[in-house]
Amino acid sequence: MTTIGINVNTRAVKISVEPRTHLADFLRDQLNLTGTHLGCEHGVCGACTLLIDDMPARSCITLAAACDGAHITTIEGLDDDEITTELRAAFTREHALQCGYCTPGMLISARDLVLRLDTSDEHAIRVGLSGNLCRCTGYVGIVRAVRSVIDERRKRGIPPILGAGRERLGPVGSCNGAGTGREQAGLSSAGLEEERLGGTTTISDFVPDKVFDEHFTVASPPDKVFAMFGDIEQIAASLPGVSLTGNPTPQHVKGLIRVKLGPISAGFRGAARIERDPNTLSGRIVGTGNDQRSRSSTQGEIRYRLVPINGGIATRVELSIGYSLQGILAQIAREGLVRGLAARLTTEFARNLALRLSGNAASAPTRQAQSIDSASLIFEQLRILVRKILRRTQNG
Ligand code: FES
Ligand code: FES
């Protein structure tokens, strides 16, 4: 058996596999991801197509053990993907499926074409889909569906992405696999991760393992607070331990957050997708990050809502924080510790935000290089515990 660490649909998975197990069997049998279908098992029919490191690949002729370190996206991981959603609707509209057996693989290949092709050239689409066999439809509806999605997107001004968003060359999975691929590419793991989490990478939704709420108030009206929340650089500067690692856009940010949990210092390097709704003064940030030193990874989601208080001159900021943690830190970071960390982070963020909103940014400490130290949190929790015990003793 070989132990591999891969990221499947943005979730880090560490598992033992037989060296001869192919990726499709591994996903279907061990992870229950049965959306990846198996037809020929010889790399001919395309039913098993999925994305390895964002590139379409045949999972029936890919050994799971060879994917150590790779990012796998199956059809289940594209549930909320914009292009796949448009393709699904077009497939239904154009009667592009009958039994549906080829459809998951077909959608993944079609998505790649929608990303890459400048125009809806029928010949190019047929060539692009020639590795995906369909025994039912005769392909006419499939080609029509793909053409319509390309046409609609180009009409909406969405250009093709050169190389379909792939920033690396080489065989599928070659850059992220353990060992030679990395060294040949001349990239550190952290560098690869940063590259992977660049502006063109889709950050998928996920179901957090833990969710909790926080809130704070600021003495500024909601619209002013909402405008500040749109200023990524100001927000990052208000968050202790956070620094940006690239130029943010209104929808996307790359960064580094340093934390210290017990004896372990970690620096999670990652990226986040930003969504904002000015009508409801709410927003959502979904991010993912990895710490190479502790071999831990995390996914996080922060939802916020701004509620006017005191007749609208102040704001209550309501937060819902969700996260999943994998790796060594997951064993150390008990929920209470993470919640304490989040509470501390929220308090400091609220204080810095208030200073910036009042125009006293200079007084707000620049904490970018400073990590969030959990030692004081542990003592804080101990203090609370001791206080509780004393109170119980006094009452008893
Ligand atoms: S099952 Fe993989 S190509 Fe046919
Ligand atoms: S819809 Fe049946 S194989 Fe394509």
* Nearest C-alpha neighbor of 46 from the set 33, 67, 34, 61: 61
> Is residue 136 within 6 Å of ligand 2 at its C-beta?
yes
Query: 188 falls in which pLDDT band (50, 70, 90)?
Result: very low
CB 110 within 8 A of CB 146: yes
Give how far Cα 383 sits from Cα of 250, 311, 343, 376, Å.
41, 37, 16, 10
**Residue 311's pLDDT band (cuts 50, 70, 90):** very high
Q: Is residue 23 lining ligand 1, measured as CB closer than 6 Å?
A: no
Rg (CA), the chain: 24
Ligand 2 centre to CA of 99 (Å) is: 5
Tally: H helices and E strands in the chain: 12, 13
State yes or no: pLDDT of 129 exceeds 50: yes
Report the pLDDT value the prediction gives residue 178, as an integer from 0 to 100. Answer: 37
Angle at 31 between CA 55 and CA 40, to 5 degrees: 60
Q: Is 313 in the pocket of ligand 1 (CB under 6 A)?
A: no
Range 204-227 average pLDDT: 87
Mean pLDDT within 217-234: 92
Per-residue model confidence (pLDDT) at position 377 = 47
Which residue's CA is the nearest one to ligand 1's atom 3?
A: 43
C-alpha to C-alpha distance for 122 and 144, rounded to whole angstroms: 9
Atom of ligand 2 nearest to the CA of 47: 3
Indicate the pTM of the whole model.
0.48
Among 261, 259, 233, 258, residue whose Cα is nearest residue 247: 233
| Pocket residue to mutate for ligand 2, from 91, 99, 132, 140, most atoms within 8 A of Cβ | 99
Confidence class of residue 92 from pLDDT cuts 50, 70 and 90? very high
List, in order, residues 6 or more apart from 138 with CB less than 8 Å away. none
Lowest mean pLDDT among 87-96, 110-119, 348-357: 348-357
* DSSP codes joined into one string, 167-181: ---SSTTTTTSTTHH
pLDDT band, very low/low/confident/very high, at 245 (cuts 50, 70, 90): confident
> What does the pLDDT read at residue 142?
97
Mutate to test the pocket of ligand 1, among 23, 26, 45 (most ligand atoms within 8 A of CB): 45
Rounded mean pLDDT, 176-200: 36
The pair of structure tokens assigned to 262 is 């017990």
52-65 tens-digit pLDDT: 988 899 999 999 98
Q: What is the mean pLDDT of the chain?
A: 81
Identify the pLDDT of residue 46. 94
pLDDT in tens, 14-48: 888 898 999 999 999 999 999 999 999 988 999 99
394: pLDDT strictly greater than 80:
no
pLDDT of residue 172: 53
Query: In the beta sheet, which residues pair with residue 7?
Result: 12, 71
Burial (0-12, 13-18, 19+ Cβ within 10 Å), 277:
exposed
Out of 152-161, 216-225, 245-254, pick the least confident: 245-254
Q: Is the pLDDT of residue 308 over 80?
A: yes
Question: Which ligand neighbours the alpha carbon of 47 most closely?
Answer: 1
Cα–Cα distance, 48 to 56 (Å, whole number): 10
To which H or E segment does residue 72 belong?
strand 71-73
| Residue 143 reports pLDDT greater than 70 | yes
Tell me, what's the pLDDT at 336?
Answer: 72
Instruction: Supply the pLDDT for residue 249.
Output: 86
Ligand 1 and 190: CB distance under 6 A: no
User: Do 146 and 129 meet the contact criterion of CB atoms below 8 Å apart?
Assistant: yes
pLDDT of amino acid 289: 84
Q: Facing residues of 320 across strands?
A: 213, 303
How confident is the model at residue 194, as a pLDDT? 38
**Cα dist. 60→72, 105, 111, 112, 338 in Å?**
14, 12, 20, 19, 40
Look at residue 130 in the predicted model and tell me its pLDDT: 92
- pLDDT tens digit string along 368-380? 434 444 445 445 5
